[in-house]
Structure 1
């Protein structure tokens, strides 16, 4: 990519897409194109094809997706698989038909088997059963990953894929019914602090282990891969570091400044017991994360405060 390359960010308002826009602009890229859902429905094939035919993007970051936490995935599995399949199929096929120079598809580490050997290597894909609570989303993402692989294999398209671990940061979803664990904790502790509540409840036992990466670090890795990687196999994006949900909750509690009690509701699901990725491939290519978990949580909380003034 050069500074004038025409770059399309699919999903530019979301957590991932907005971070990509920030990072590209900081680096001096001047020809970034985007569309809101109202302007372009990515589940509509005709609209997607018209957009690609008119705009002719050279590079595509496919960050658009329907996402959510355990509750949302359990409640709306049909919506998750349908909408994500439609988005991926339409964008990837249009990128092929209208000769996009390179496309990066963003998956998720939830695509790996529930009981995959830890830490999870890229080669673990499709070697075991998925976690039931997000199976619909995972199946869709696996399909997108494989679609990029097969378009590369059959047609020689420069379509690559990456697998970010759990993300957090500015423009995250803080809706308690559909958010992931870290933004949910930030909101819960903040609201408890403001209201004077003495207890914050966290779902599950607190024992599952998770890996988190600050979204601007993830965006930096995506741009790095777009400029430096063209192989068929997907690449994990993460820190290679893990933390228990209990320790995570205690860290968020401290950052927010909540002084009450932390209670775990063991009647609620834990999800996958452990999910840590191997990031040797990415590190060997020359990229490593920069933002620590504690610093990232502080940045995420400040971002939450700035967008929820008066709350």
Structure 2
């Protein structure tokens, strides 16, 4: 049942290719202002449609662009693009094959948001590969925004999703090796992959976004990061732009990072400037231990400008525009 039908029924019963402007030479001390002149210069209107995603995921952006070039909409593009990585059992941080929590359970978080501001999310989902698609079903077929745990799994199965064991032999072996010492520590860059966040703007200029992850490797059972939290891991405002986050989710949640980036763009900042400011909010906190973790943002605005920024080097963004599928590395925030 579509959300609008559900609500109606219940009411009746009383109920330029690259990382936007240049990221090179943007790094500085955490207390200062950005030295990036490119944040306000050299931003040119981008030819539509296009798609951007966190990390080096050319197969995912290629699928999304295939949808867009076939006159598909941005929502379908980001869902189908993310599904590519969810089904990639060799990428150990999204969907099938994701590294488990410390108890050996692969648990998935995902969210999706459309041009109207509608959104759906799943947290602590097990045994279902395509968490992003379940999140879309939550958005479209329920009166809710978020479903969790067994409830999310039962809902997915009721919608025809296949239940399967997501723990591959490779991930199981890695988990068993980790158990020898059981030392937990956030990994700054995991296989250049981590969470996949994707933003697309279609030929009509409409924006949608999605985010999906298996979360931190060997996390405590029940832990949920920023990825399924609307406003933290992802935010879309079709009047302004969109942002998606990756990295240590706890730090993104503390600053409601993706909403912050979009709000800064609403106030007139470019996507690049907004991403830099969002990182600055993290690293300038009193007693911040930002050198020990990674956070990165990618963003686009309604004009088609893009931006990308992270605390540490190694963070990349993939952009597919016209016939070019490009991955570029962002400059880190603090030069060592």
TM range (shorter): under 0.3
Using structure 1 for the length normalisation, give the TM-score.
0.27
Higher strand share: 2
Using structure 2 for the length normalisation, give the TM-score.
0.25
Higher helix share: 1
- Taking CA–CA contacts closer than 8 Å with sequence separation of 6 or more, which of the two structures ends up with the larger relative contact order? 2
